[in-house]
Amino acid sequence: MELMSGNEAIAQGAWEAGCTIGVAYPGTPSTETLEAFAKKEGVYAEWCVNEKVAVEVGIGASAAGARVLATMKHVGVNVAADPLFTAAYTGVGGGMVILAADDPGMYSSQNEQDSHYYAQAAAIPCLDPADSAEALRFTREAYDISERFDVPVIIRSSVRISHTKTPVEAGERAEAPARPYEKNPAKWVMMPAFAKPRRLVQLDRIDKLRQWVETCPYNEVREGKGAIGIVCAGAAYQHVAEALPDASIFKLGVTWPLPAAALRDFADSVEAVYVVEEGSEYLKDAVRACGVPVSETPCPLPRAGELSPGLVRAAFGLEQPPHAPAATDLPGRPPALCPGCPHRLVFKELSRMRAIVTGDIGCYTLGALPPLSAMDTTVDMGASVSMAHGFELALADTEHRPIVAVIGDSTFAHSGLSSLISTVYNRGAGTVCVLDNRTTAMTGRQGNPFNGVTLQNRPSRELNIEAVVAALGVEDVHVVDPNDAAAVRRALKEATGSDDISVIVFRSPCVLLERHVEPPLFVSDSCTACGACVTLGCPALGRDETGRALIDPALCIGCGHCTQYCRFDAIVKE
């Protein structure tokens, strides 16, 4: 018996099932799954440029007969939806399991969404583990389900299941010989002539899945003492079990398709049925569609964010257990770019020039927060370049502020490159800043095509951003050191003054990669309390009660960014 997070348990379950190939794009809360899988014996694992590519690689490997694991966060499922929906027609060769890790509460995401809807829409079976032991078991057995019904299987997790460690009983690996590949265009070539018959295959599969789910071992009923019954799944089950110990609970391990007859039998055994879920009404609507009358809780459950035992109790009008009140006098701790972050001066200069900045997904999104306040939009990966082009189109023939897109190196490979191709093709203008910090920083410093680091440290190719951009036909391409404020200011001024499209590659390693630290800086008596240095938003910089600058030596890494903005030479090395 050992403790594993849900992510680690999913990796273990895939390995025990004989899965040999893992593919993913890193995204919290799913990232650690493939990292854990990559460390196991006898497997191949890679970071792909995006989730769509990952699923397509997975489908190819499955068609060739291998068992495959593809992992992604919930917004990654949006990117992967195109091949995913068609894979529900083609089916599989070797078993294929897809982890969709949702993020209720948006701890590290731009939205909340419920991946159950993808399973329902694509008609792909979906399993919801409620702890790490189930995550391991469900994943291991999902490969047999995948091959039995000739369909990919979704393991739907959430941030709480992904990151909470609970006991598991790890097992041995069961080797699964690859199924021999045989040419079969009627199964794998989804042109209309072949897709129409595969649609009938899919409908027959749905009927068989609906029969199977009624007696499958993944749905459990916990009989209680009270008159109410709760239907729930995943992390919500843990909250319900703690909050309502006397309730009867139908814990769904399979959330698509639902066991309609079993749910109706459960409803007949209690006086009222309630559904408890996070972030959507997927489960409530689906249970009602099974012919089960669902009651409303005395007090509404929150429509957004994560659940907790306290919120579940409150929904049923129950008192909260005794607990210490939450502290109310703690100082705020807003997120900020790290001390020495190479992105900081770029945002400072964009703020100074009052540019309209279309941003992207990454740790540099923090450039939107005060005091930098240098980002106007963030929607999804790759949108910065596309939206900048949209701004240019809408504001054409008007006097307007400079329009600048800001995107990280990994995100540029993920989907920014295709956006730039479209802009160049359509003779777009504007400035694109690629913040190349040599890693995929936000999700834990994973590799990407532009630093050439692979998941299992295999020999690779490091792609050259400026060469790729120049090959697209962009003539104005420059590489600039983002730690040099004067160089950043000059490059931005020249690029935004051009009538054509300009690309600036701001290249400097993430400070967490090399962890190079110089002696901390200090504030001398010549400080005039002007506050210019504090506007950089560095966590190491503050002000005393007189307004003079302060530097926290425990946080300062001696990068010297602040010295470039002090007109009085008050920030010194010793």
User: Annotated binding residues for [4Fe-4S] cluster, as ranges?
Assistant: 527, 530, 533, 538, 556, 559, 562, 566
Q: How many Cβ atoms from other residues are within 10 Å of residue 227's Cβ?
A: 11
Q: Which residue has the tokens 């299987």?
A: 153
CB 68 within 8 A of CB 61: yes
Measured CA to CA, the distance from residue 406 to residue 399 in angstroms comes to 22
Angle at the Cα of 515 from the Cα atoms of 512 and 518, rounded to 5 degrees = 135
Q: How many Cβ atoms from other residues are within 10 Å of residue 487's Cβ?
A: 16
Binding site, by residue number, is: 527, 530, 533, 538, 556, 559, 562, 566
Characterize the bridge pairing of strands 2-5 and 165-168.
antiparallel
Does a cis peptide bond (omega within 30 degrees of 0) precede residue 300? no
Helix axes 260-268, 192-215, angle to 10 degrees: 30
Measured CA to CA, the distance from residue 132 to residue 163 in angstroms comes to 9
Helix axes 485-496, 344-352, angle to 10 degrees: 50
Number of residues in the chain: 574
Measured CA to CA, the distance from residue 387 to residue 393 in angstroms comes to 10
Angle at the Cα of 94 from the Cα atoms of 93 and 99, rounded to 5 degrees = 115
Amino acid code (one letter) for 115: S
Q: Which of 125, 136, 144, 129 is nearest to 220 (CA)?
A: 129
